[in-house]
Structure 1
Amino acid sequence: MKKLTDILNKELDSYNRFLVLLDDQHQQLACRDLEGLNKTNAELDLLCNKVSELERERQKIVKDISKRMELSPSNLTLDDILSRLDGISNESLQQLRKAIVDTHEHIEEKRKRNEFLINKSRQLITKSVKILSSKPSHVYGQPGQSKVKARGGKVVNHAV
């Protein structure tokens, strides 16, 4: 069970790092820090790869445990293993499982929050591009003269 505990601790550490990076990403989105955002996204990609490796390693460990416990490894979950354990091993694994589930829920909340910000930014950019790229239409001013007037919105100059 030590191997399983060790790998679960590594996964929990990685998930906690995810939380920190998602907070960084949120801050960078809010401040429009593209350089920092690119760096954080690269770190998130590397961390995703690391978590995938840890997950594969955990699956191998669970498969080995299932053989020793004479259980079917096909759909074996951590809960199945925990239900057959007692004592300190069970208690520490239960705490780890709860911490991982809780952390994963926090990750999902923060991911959704950041996704919302990204989508709002995309919408704002799309509207801005439409305003800036709208074709001018001709309208009549004084008799016989036409003026060019922009369609679809206003462009505001914020220069002081």
Structure 2
Amino acid sequence: MKYNCESYNFTVFQIADYFLSRERKQKDQDITHLKLQKLIYYAQGFVLAFTHQPLFLESLEAWRHGPVCRVLYNKYKKWSYHSIPLEQNQISLNEIKRYPEIEEILQLIWQIFGTLSGTQLEEMTHAEMPWKIAIKRGLNTPISNESLYNFFSNLIFDENKQGD
């Protein structure tokens, strides 16, 4: 099955708001700018794979430290390698709650990747095909939604096949 180009019409900032609102019980749940970028990448990839629709329209690019959304980078670059403070943007959170399937995927991403550091997530994305394909064409090359869809769909399909 092919993915649908019609997006859920979230902005990357709304998805960032979701992750930045998560309760951080341990130090390893801190969100740095590097970590936020990777959580956004995983959100776009898994939502494409599960729902066949992009989560947001802003593009991801292959940067030296992994996938990056440039407009999100510009908003949070002031934090550098420091933890971004907890934020509660209720408007963004309420909008996400209107789509229980999206909220469920985002919750899973937080549960699975929320305890990993930005550096650990960077290493993971460097080993994955969407970033590898784009970076071969040069730094800052867009990572296509088709590449994300294919990679994450195969990841899910292979995982489900192994469980049989």
- TM-score of the pair, normalised by structure 1: 0.28
- TM-score of the pair, normalised by structure 2: 0.27
